[in-house]
Amino acid sequence: MIFDTHAHYDCDAYDLDRDALLQEMHASGNVGLILNCADGIESCHKIMDLCDKYDFVYGALGIHPERVEELTDENLSSIQQMATSNSKIKAIGEVGLDYVNGGDKDEQHKLFIRQIGISRELGLPLVIHDREAHQDTLTILKQEKAWEVGGVMHCYSGSKEMLRQVFDINMHIGIGGVVTFKNAVKVREVVEALPHDRLIVETDAPYLTAVPHRGHRNRSDYIAYVIEQIASIWNVSPEMVENITYDNGKKLFKI
Ligand code: NI
pLDDT tens, residue by residue, 91-107: 999 999 999 999 999 99
Residue 156 to residue 42: CA distance in whole angstroms: 26
Q: CA quadruple 235, 240, 243, 247: dihedral positive or negative? A: negative
Cα–Cα distance, 95 to 75 (Å, whole number): 14
For residue 159, report the distance from its CA to the centre of ligand 1, in Å.
20
> What pLDDT is stored for residue 167 in this prediction?
97
Distances (CA, A) of 14 to 7, 22, 125: 11, 10, 27
Q: How far is the CA of 154 from the centre of ligand 1 (A)?
A: 8
2-253 maps to CATH 3.30.930.10: no
Q: Which helix (H) or strand (E) holds 3?
A: strand 2-7
Q: How far is the CA of 79 from the centre of ligand 1 (A)?
A: 18
pLDDT of residue 205: 98
Give the mean pLDDT of 21-36.
97
Distance 173 CA to ligand 1 centre (A): 14
CA of 204 to the centre of ligand 1 (A): 5
pTM: 0.97
Residue 49 CA, chain-centre distance (Å), reads 19
Distance from the CA of 200 to the center of ligand 1, in angstroms? 14
Taken as a whole, the chain contains a residue count of 255
